[in-house]
Amino acid sequence: MYKKLEALKILSAVIMMFLCLSGCGSKGDINAAANESSLADTALETETGAETETEAETKIEEKTKTEEETDTEEETKTEEETETETETKTEAETEKETENNEVSSKENPVTEDPSQEVASDAEEKTESIRVVETDLKPSEGFEFESNGDGTCTITGIGTCTDENIVIPVESPDGDIVTLIDEYAFYSLEDVESVTLVNYNYEVGENAFQYGEFTAVNIIGGSPVIKESAFSTCEDLTLISFSDCNIQAEEYAFYSCGKDADVTFSNCTGTIEEYAFEYGDFLSLTINNCEFTIEKSAFSSCENLTSIVFTDSILETEEYAFYSCGDSAKVEMNNCSLVFDDRTFQYSSIESLTITGSQADIGESVFSSCEDLAVVNIDCDSVVLGEYAFYSCEDLESVTICKNAKSDNEIKVDDRAFQYCEKLETAAIGNGNVEIGEFVFSGCAANLIINVAGKDYTADAVNDGLK
Q: Are residues 170 and 227 in the same domain?
A: yes
Cβ contacts of 424 within 8 Å, gap of 6 or more = 396, 397, 444, 446, 447, 448
Q: Which CATH number goes with the domain that contains 404? A: 3.80.10
Residues 396 and 450 occupy one common structural domain: yes
Q: Name the percent of the chain in helix, strand, coil, to the closest 5.
A: 25, 30, 45
Residue 114 lies in a domain: no
Residue 133 and residue 32 share a domain: no
| Higher-pLDDT residue of 43, 402 | 402
Which of 44, 73, 92 is at the close of a domain? Answer: 92
Q: 131 and 83 share a domain?
A: no
Q: Are residues 346 and 464 in the same domain?
A: yes
Tell me what pLDDT residue 163 has.
97
Whether 322 is in a domain gets the answer no
Residue 266 and residue 136 share a domain: yes
**Residue 99 lies inside a defined structural domain of this protein:** no
Closest CA to 456 of 464, 385, 442, 377: 464
Q: Which domain holds residue 75?
A: 2-92
Strands 176-180 and 151-156: parallel
pLDDT band at 7 (very low <50, low <70, confident <90, very high): low
For residue 316, being part of any structural domain is answered with no
Q: Considering the domain boundaries, does residue 175 fall inside one?
A: yes
Are both 127 and 270 inside the same structural domain?
yes
Co-location of 353 and 244 in the same domain = no
Rounded mean pLDDT, 1-24: 52
Q: Are residues 363 and 447 in the same domain?
A: yes
Which among 144, 147, 156, 136 has a CA at the least distance from the CA of 208?
156
Tell me what pLDDT residue 96 has: 45
**How many other C-beta atoms can be found within 10 angstroms of the C-beta atom of residue 92?**
10
Q: How many domains does the chain have?
A: 3
Query: Residue 169: which of 137, 206, 197, 135 has the closest Cα?
Result: 197
307: CB partners within 8 A, 6+ apart: 283, 284, 321, 324, 325, 328, 329, 330, 331
Tell me: do 166 and 259 sit in the same domain.
yes
Lowest mean pLDDT across 101-110, 186-195, 369-378, 452-461:
101-110
pLDDT at 9: 58
Q: Examine the fold and report which residue of 254, 275, 296 is the final residue of a domain before the chain moves on.
A: 275
Domain membership of residue 88 (yes or no) is: yes
Same-domain pairing of 16 and 139: no
Query: For the whole model, what pTM was predicted?
Result: 0.73
Q: Is the pLDDT of residue 119 over 70?
A: no
pLDDT value of position 52? 38
On whether both 136 and 29 belong to a single domain, the answer is no
Buried b (16+ CB within 10 A) or exposed e, 66-88: eeeeeeeeeeeeeeeeeeeeeee
Instruction: Let me know if residue 112 belongs to a domain.
Output: no
Would 294 be classed as within a structural domain? no
**At residue 275, what is the residue type?**
A
62-83 pLDDT, tens per residue?
444 444 444 444 444 444 444 4
Residue range 217-233: mean pLDDT, rounded = 97
Q: Write down which residue in 258, 275, 292 finishes a domain.
A: 275
